[in-house]
Amino acid sequence: MIYKVYFQELAKEVPVREKTKTIFVEGETERDVRSKLKKRPYNIEFVAAVDGSYLEFEKQNEDFKVLEIE
């Protein structure tokens, strides 16, 4: 399944909407996605499953790319 992760680039950074970034990560569960991103210095705000028409909408974005992290 594909998950959309909302995050700040630095774990010590206070969440500010204008600085929030997103990435798409493939994983089995939300917990799996969080564990894959654990080594990165991200301050993860929210992880949401993306499927169906929402996934098709996101794929239309030219910057759409799914990270496959081990």
What is residue 28's predicted lDDT score, i.e. its pLDDT? 94
Predicted confidence (pLDDT) at residue 25 exceeds the cutoff of 90: yes
Instruction: Look up the CATH superfamily of 2-65.
Output: RNAP, epsilon subunit-like (3.10.20.730)
Closest CA to 13 of 21, 2, 5: 21
- Please give the model's pTM, rounded to 2 decimal places: 0.87
Q: What is the 3-state secondary structure (H, E, C) of 18-50?
A: HHCEEEEEECCCHHHHHHHCCCCCCEEEEEEEE
Using 50, 70 and 90 to split pLDDT, how confident is the model at 62?
A: confident
Predicted confidence (pLDDT) at residue 35 exceeds the cutoff of 80: yes
Predicted confidence (pLDDT) at residue 44 exceeds the cutoff of 90: yes
For residues 22-44, give the mean pLDDT: 94
Domain ranges of the chain: 2-65
